[in-house]
Each structure stands twice: as C-alpha cells, then as structure tokens.
Chain A
Amino acid sequence: AQSVTQLGSHVSVSEGALVLLRCNYSSSVPPYLFWYVQYPNQGLQLLLKYTSAATLVKGINGFEAEFKKSETSFHLTKPSAHMSDAAEYFCAVSDQRQAGTALIFGKGTTLSVSS
C-alpha cells in the first residue's frame, strides 16, 4: 500500500524566511504525488503535483517541490514566506486500486508565519 509521511506537525517561520515542509513517500510503483493547502474552514486547494514529467515541480503562490527518488522525498519549499501562507499543508499520494483511485494524505503540517 502506498503512504506518505509528513515530518513535523508544526513549522514556524518568520515572514521573508524560507519555507520547507517535508514529505516522504512509500510506494512500490512510481508515485503520483500532490501538495494541497487548506485555509481555516475551507476546502483543499491544489498547490502542485508530480506525475514524472519533471523532478522539480513549480506550483501556485511561489511554491515548488522536488521529487527525489533516492530519498523517497517530495519536499515543498518557498523562498520567502508571506503572512498569507499560514495554513495547513497536506502531502498526498494517489493510490490506484482495481476499481478506482484514492488520495492518501499525510497527517498534515501547520505552517505559522510571524512578522
């Protein structure tokens, strides 16, 4: 079964600092990986996805992630944090089953940004 592990349930940064949110995956086949963001009392918004086309994936709002097969990682980064980046971030892997597809989420990382 496929799974993802997010290291660090809470990350705090200062405004303008680098954001690094960690995600490691476990998969017996080449994975399809996603990062989503969830603001309070809202649904999930797709930040970016990895589908094997390129190892460095650029997403919305200045975020990017690098797929490293040797480290089974897909960490999310942003060079300069903004106050509006404070939210819950979920890494997810797509689990293809015989009858359909399921997204398997990590436990999430809460990003706090201080001024």
Chain B
Amino acid sequence: DTEVTQTPKHLVMGMTNKKSLKCEQHMGHRAMYWYKQKAKKPPELMFVYSYEKLSINESVPSRFSPECPNSSLLNLHLHALQPEDSALYLCASSQKPASSYEQYFGPGTRLTVT
C-alpha cells in the first residue's frame, strides 16, 4: 500500500480565518513533505520533515506553520492567508530522507482564499 491521504479535499477560507490541512501515511515512511502547486505549474517544495523534525523550510511565510505530531501525521496550519496563496497543496512521503527514495504524493487539498 503506497497511499498518502489528505483532508480536506477542498477548503475555502477568508483572509482572517485559521484552518489546518492534514496529511497521513501508514507506510512507515520517515520523511514527509509539503508542496504548493499553482495552476499549470510544477509543485514547489515548502517544507521537509525528516524523522519528525523540520529539516527544510524553503523560506515560506510564517502564515504557513507546519507540524509533525508523529511519524504518520503531518499538518499545515494556515492563518491570515492572502488570495495569492490559493493553490493545490500536496503532501508527500518517502521511506527515508535520502535522494534515492521516491516520494509518494497524496491527492492534494485545493485551497481557495477569499
């Protein structure tokens, strides 16, 4: 089973709201990732968690706050977002945080900021 699940599938939020995206995998993977994908563009890396510790932050604005409560779960907390933050947010995981390991992606959360 190579499944990564993400909830919710769609999210509409105002600029003053606080919401969270959730990602889960039960493959025993020890690296988890958040990517942002705008329409007609490739995914762009936001954060990497290696062994439940934040290892890469691609200079993401502080209105995005990641959290890794355990090895199976990854959250992305959203606060005071801007309309330009509307995008598809993809979660991925890999067996280990090393180059040779492929990443498995979830279906994404389609976020609209109004």
Binding site for A on B (CB under 8 A): 4, 6, 31, 33, 40-45, 48, 50, 55-56, 58, 90, 92, 94, 97-108, 110
Contacts and interface: CB of A to CB of B under 8 A. Distances in A.
B100 A32 contact: yes
B99 to A, nearest CB: 4
A101 B98 contact: yes
Size range of the chain A interface in the assembly: 20 to 34
8 contacts: A36-B105, A43-B106, A45-B105, A95-B99, A99-B55, A100-B50, A101-B99, A105-B42
Contacts of A103: 33, 43, 45, 92, 103
Contact of B45 (A36, A102, A108): A102
A96 interface: yes
Interface in A22-45: 32, 34, 36, 41-45
A100 B56 contact: yes
Contacts, number: 68
B107 A42 contact: yes
Q: SS class of chain A's interface: helix, strand, loop or mixed?
A: strand
Nearest to A91: B42
B102 A100 contact: no
Given A32-B99, A43-B106, A101 B31 contact: yes
- Which of B31, B99, B101 is most buried by chain A, counting CB atoms within 10 A of its CB? B99
Given A100-B48, A102-B45, A44 B100 contact: no
B89 to A, nearest CB: 10
Interface in A7-57: 32, 34, 36, 41-46, 49, 51
Contacts of A99: 48, 50, 55-56
6 smallest A-B Cβ distances: which pairs? A105-B42, A100-B55, A94-B99, A43-B105, A99-B55, A100-B48
Contact of B102 (A43, A46, A105): A46
